[in-house]
Chain A
Amino acid sequence: MFKIQRHKLIKKTPAEQIVRAIVFVIFCAVAFSYLYLVFWCFYSGLRDYNAIAKSPFGLSAVHFEHYYEVFTTLNANDSSFLEMIFNSMYFSFLGPLLCIFVTSQLAYVTSKYKFFGAGSVYFIVLVVITLPIYGTQSAMYKLLYELNFLNSRLMILTSLNGFSIYYMYFYAFFKNMSWSYAEAAQIDGANDWQIYYKVMFPQTLTMFGALFLMLWITDWNSYATALIYLPEMPTLAVGIYQFGVDMMYSGRSDLLYAACGISMLPPLILFILCNNALAYRKLMWDSSLSAEALLKEYTDIYYADGADAVREMMALFHENYRRLEQTGTEVTFITRGTHAAAETNPKEMLEKCVGIIGKAERDILARDLPKKRKQELFMRLEGVKATPFMLLADHYDFYYPDCPQEKEAFLRKFSECVRNAKLDTSGEKWSMRQYLEEIGYTEESKG
């Protein structure tokens, strides 16, 4: 009943407590400085420039109109603030999009098709990302000058780079992806392009999105490359830099800081909204990150009091597939295929899973929680229970050959479960109603 965490039994020594206290104070100071930097930028954009000049870190009256004035007044190299935003959007949005798109294509063909040079691409990328090369900007500058790409929107073509670190992510992803998807599509008459765009590419969308987000933030903030190759077509970062240089004469620091505040907004908003995607990207970057810890964090947040039951069920499935692998069966991540087969999932395991989740549901319903919260957690757990339930329902005749008369009652329970979980599709194509009909349960039989 009472869980005692082992590490709580180990007392911290006074020396360790002092060290922890000192470290905490240092951490607080650094964290405060970062948060203050963000606040200061936004706040300074609201202050009068004379007040800023007198005391850059003081308090004074606020002028919200500065944030409007930035759009009408701020100018760098004959480009207005709106033009800078457009340039930033163009290069930081389109650039990463093209880069990741061609990278995924290159990784796909080199990992899935055999042709001359396919194997060497991986080696070349490895060399490119590990070899430290200095001073090539001058040759790049000369080339862009000769191609007439300087201060031109054609600079975007330099983003079509498939030989980058991102190739490694896509390569590993496609290498581990089962070819059975493609085979199924081929049987349906799909050609190679259709297989990629309709079957393979959609499965990379999560990784695609996470990488795009990271590259977007980097490109949005980047000034170094744009400053030397696109000085007359300033992006927001370059424009703000150039306005900062001009400001020495104009003195409008209020506008400068307001522009800084505006430029900070998109990455900050995305960081807050897509924290999980960024974490995902970090996981890809460092494959040693603990998937288990992340999984625990996720289940704890999403299933709350039911998290232990969900993890217990996952462990049962995991153990089952581990045993299967030991017998030489290939276990792959597929939605509906061999591993949904009755022979690979023991009845006892599935029943135990249904029981574990059912108990967690009852515990939650008995707990003193707000009604809405109870319903929410119940619905989520029903969604989990639907998986073992569906495997049992799918092969009812195999699992329960002696009880055909109870099939209908069983399917009714399953139907209730999916309705409680608000599941409306099964697999990729079927509506839940179609699926229930397929396994022999119709609204009429329910009646």
Chain B
Amino acid sequence: MEKTETNTKVSLKNKKIRWMRLLFILSFVIIPVVQFLLFYVYVNISSVFMAFQRPEKGQIIFVGLENFEWVIDRFIHGSENLSDDLGFALGNTLKTFCVQIIMFVVGLFVSYFIYKKILGYKAFRVIFYLPSIISGVVVSYFYTALMSSSSFFPDLLERLYKLDYDLASPLVDSDFANKMIMLNIIWLSFPANIILWGGSFSRIPESVIESGVLDGASWLREMFQIVLPMVWPTLVLLLTTNFAAIFGATGNVFLLTKGDYGTQTLSNWMYMRIYEATNPYATNTIYRVSALGLMLTIISCAIAIVCRKFLNSRVEEVQY
């Protein structure tokens, strides 16, 4: 009798412990899960639906492929307003992406020279981190001032391009604005991924580098035939990430030109449409953003997979 009572007490206690544990798990999981379901899952599903909808008289109606047709039309036939010409924006996006890839390689070399302890490398390592901690708004004001008519820069360009007119500011001149956006990217992304590369390089055993140098390998040979194969996994990861974000390639277009003067990119076009929106039950363009976003997502996923497979098949991973 006593034993049964004890067993019942133990069973009740275990039950209580189980319930308390369940409550504990729920208390830790519920907030992030609800947030995720609402602001990620629902938003993504809603974005897919929005690609097939548009507002009419305060109501949302399904319009089939109308938004896609509009987007494809803007890609093929462009628009009177250059800022709405998606074909042109795609061209600029791809140009920006190319510049970013070039700067990715430059960043690799910058990190390599810091790894090779170039004179003052410790100071460079700290200073090159500054663009990451200064607001893009502040940097854009400095750059705009540099490009202003009272600065030396427009004069420099006038002489360089032998212009027969006064260049007020290259940022408001269609011939120069996009070049200046690219220059801004080059300036700010010069030390790109410096810490990431620094970490990968420092893992390379010193003996490997030294034996290469003793065998007479030049720095270029050392870079391409010793260092690069040894950091290949990091390179593949970063390149894949870059290729996956190909359609997101954009400089400080919004802050410097708002996409005017022939500087529009796909990413800025989408951002500008949301920026200008006042009411999702009245603004049509945000539904077109969803359509464009859906198309770009599908294409970029395919690009990322192909890119990773291609890069992985090129060089065998080095274990060390």
Q: Which of A30, A157, A160, A282 contacts B191 (CB 8 A)?
A: A30
Cβ of A367 < 8 Å from any Cβ of B? no
Main secondary structure of the interface of A (DSSP, over half): helix
Out of A115, A132, A271, name the residue touching B301 (CB < 8 Å): A132
Q: Are B120 and A24 in contact (CB under 8 A)?
A: yes
The answer to whether B150 and A135 touch across the interface, beta carbons within 8 angstroms, is: no
Could you say which residues of chain A place their CB within 8 Å of the CB of B145? 40, 44, 52, 56-57
Cβ–Cβ contact A141 & B244, under 8 A: no
Contact partner of B199 (CB less than 8 A), chosen from A109, A158, A283, is A283
Contact A224 B271 (CB under 8 A): yes
Closest 6 CB pairs of A and B: A135-B293, A162-B32, A289-B199, A139-B47, A221-B135, A138-B286
Query: A75-117 interface mask toward B, CB cutoff 8 Å, 1 = contact, 0 = none?
Result: 0000000000000000000000000001101101110010100
Q: Are A135 and B47 in contact, CB atoms less than 8 angstroms apart?
A: yes
Interface status of B7 (Cβ within 8 A of chain A):
no
The answer to whether A436 has its CB under 8 Å from any CB of chain B is: no
- Which one of B77-85, B136-144, B157-165, B310-318 contacts A? B136-144
CB within 8 Å of A: which of B267-320? 267, 270-271, 273-275, 277, 279-280, 286-287, 289-294, 296-297, 300-301, 304
Chain B residues contacting A257 (CB-CB under 8 Å) are 141
Residues of B within 8 A of A (CB): 20-22, 24-25, 27-29, 31-33, 35-36, 38-40, 42-44, 46-47, 50, 110, 113, 118-120, 123-124, 126-131, 133-139, 141-142, 145-146, 148, 150-152, 187, 190-191, 195-196, 198-200, 202-203, 206, 210, 213-214, 218-219, 234, 244-245, 247-248, 254-255, 267, 270-271, 273-275, 277, 279-280, 286-287, 289-294, 296-297, 300-301, 304
Q: Are A263 and B274 in contact (CB under 8 A)?
A: no
Q: Which residue of A lies closest to B134 (CB)?
A: A264
User: B270 and A137: CB pair below 8 A?
Assistant: yes
Quick check: B270 and A135 within 8 Å, CB to CB? yes
Within 8 A of B (CB), among A103-148: 103, 105-106, 108-110, 113, 115, 124, 128, 130-143, 145-146
Bound CA–CA A44/B146 (angstroms): 13
Closest CB of chain A to B148's CB: distance in Å? 6
- Cα(A54)–Cα(B148), bound, Å: 10
Are the CB atoms of A132 and B300 closer together than 8 Å?
A: yes
Question: Would B136 and A221 count as touching, CB distance under 8 A?
Answer: yes
**A 169-210 contacts with B by CB, 8 A:** 191-193, 196
Task: Determine whether A62 belongs to the interface, using a CB cutoff of 8 Å to chain B.
Answer: no
Question: Do the beta carbons of B43 and A193 come within 8 Å of each other?
Answer: no
Q: How far is the CA of A140 from the CA of B28 in the complex (A)?
A: 25
Q: Is the CB of B131 within 8 A of A19?
A: no
Can you show 26 pairs from A to B with CB atoms below 8 A apart? A10-B214, A34-B130, A37-B134, A38-B130, A56-B148, A57-B146, A124-B36, A131-B301, A132-B300, A133-B47, A135-B289, A135-B290, A137-B274, A138-B274, A139-B47, A163-B40, A191-B24, A192-B24, A223-B135, A237-B137, A240-B138, A260-B135, A263-B138, A267-B134, A271-B133, A286-B195
Q: Note all chain B residues with C-beta closer than 8 A to A141.
A: 274, 277, 280, 286
Which residues of A from 262 to 306 have beta carbons under 8 Å from B? 263-264, 267-268, 271, 275, 278-279, 282-283, 285-286, 288-290, 293
* B-side contacts of A102, CB under 8 Å: 31-32, 35
A134's partner among B20, B134, B293 (CB-CB below 8 A) is B293
Interface contact B32-A106, CB-CB below 8 Å: yes
Q: Which residues of B contact A110 (CB under 8 A)?
A: 29
A40–B130 Cα gap in the complex (Å)? 14
Known: A34-B127, A143-B38. 14 other contacts (CB 8 A): A10-B213, A31-B128, A40-B145, A56-B146, A103-B32, A113-B21, A115-B25, A132-B304, A134-B294, A157-B35, A163-B36, A221-B135, A267-B135, A289-B198
Please name all residues of chain A whose beta carbon is closer than 8 Å to the beta carbon of B40 when the two chains form the complex.
Answer: 128, 161, 163
Interface string of A219-256 (1 = CB under 8 A from B): 01101100110000000010011001000000000001
Q: Which residues of B contact A137 (CB under 8 A)?
A: 270-271, 274, 289
Shortest Cβ distance from residue A202 to the other chain B in the assembled complex, whole angstroms: 17
Q: Is A192's CB under 8 angstroms from B20's CB?
A: yes
Q: Which residues of B contact A400 (CB under 8 A)?
A: none
Asked if A7 CB lies within 8 Å of chain B CBs, one says yes
CA distance A229 to B298 in the complex (A): 27
Across-interface contacts of A37 in B (CB, < 8 A)? 130, 134, 139, 142
Which chain B residues lie closer than 8 Å to A260 at the CB level?
135, 137-138, 141
Q: Which residues of B contact A275 (CB under 8 A)?
A: 126
Q: Which residues of B are found within 8 Å of A109, using beta-carbon distances?
A: 24-25, 28-29
Chain A residues within 8 Å of B134, by CB = 37-38, 221, 264, 267-268
Inter-chain CA distance A142–B49, complex, in Å, is 12
Contacts of B294 in A (CB 8 A): 134-135
Contact B210 A7 (CB under 8 A): yes
Q: Which A residue sits closest to B114, measured CB to CB? A: A27
Q: Mark A8-49, 1 if CB is under 8 A from B, else 0.
A: 001001011001100110011011011101101100100000
Q: Assess the A223–B296 pair: CB atoms within 8 A.
A: no
Q: Is the CB of A161 within 8 A of B36?
A: yes
Q: CB-CB < 8 A to A163: which residues of B?
A: 32, 36, 40
A53, CB-defined interface residue at 8 Å: yes
Query: With A53-B150, A145-B279 in contact, do A139 and B290 touch (Cβ < 8 Å)?
Result: yes
Q: Contact: A282 with B113, CB < 8 Å?
A: no
Give which listed residue, A30, A191, A271, contacts B128 with CB less than 8 A: A30
A405 to B148, CA, bound (A): 86
- Evaluate contact between B20 and A191: CB separation under 8 angstroms: yes
A143 touches B42 (CB 8 A): yes
- Please give, as numbers and ranges, the residues of chain A lying within 8 Å of B214 by CB-CB distance: 10
**A6 at the B interface (CB under 8 A):** yes
Task: Check: A55 CB closer than 8 A to any chain B CB.
Answer: yes
Nearest B residue to A116 by beta-carbon distance?
B25
Residues in A with CB closer than 8 Å to B286 are: 138, 141-142
Indicate if the CB atoms of B46 and A158 lie closer than 8 Å.
no
Decide if A57 touches B138 in the complex (CB within 8 Å): no
Residues of A within 8 A of B190 (CB): 30
Nearest CB to that of B270 among chain A residues? Answer: A135
Q: Is A340 an interface residue (CB 8 A)?
A: no
Once A161-B36, A268-B133 are accepted as A-B contacts, the answer to whether A136 and B47 lie under 8 Å apart by CB is yes
Contact of B296 among A38, A57, A135, A240 (CB under 8 A): A135
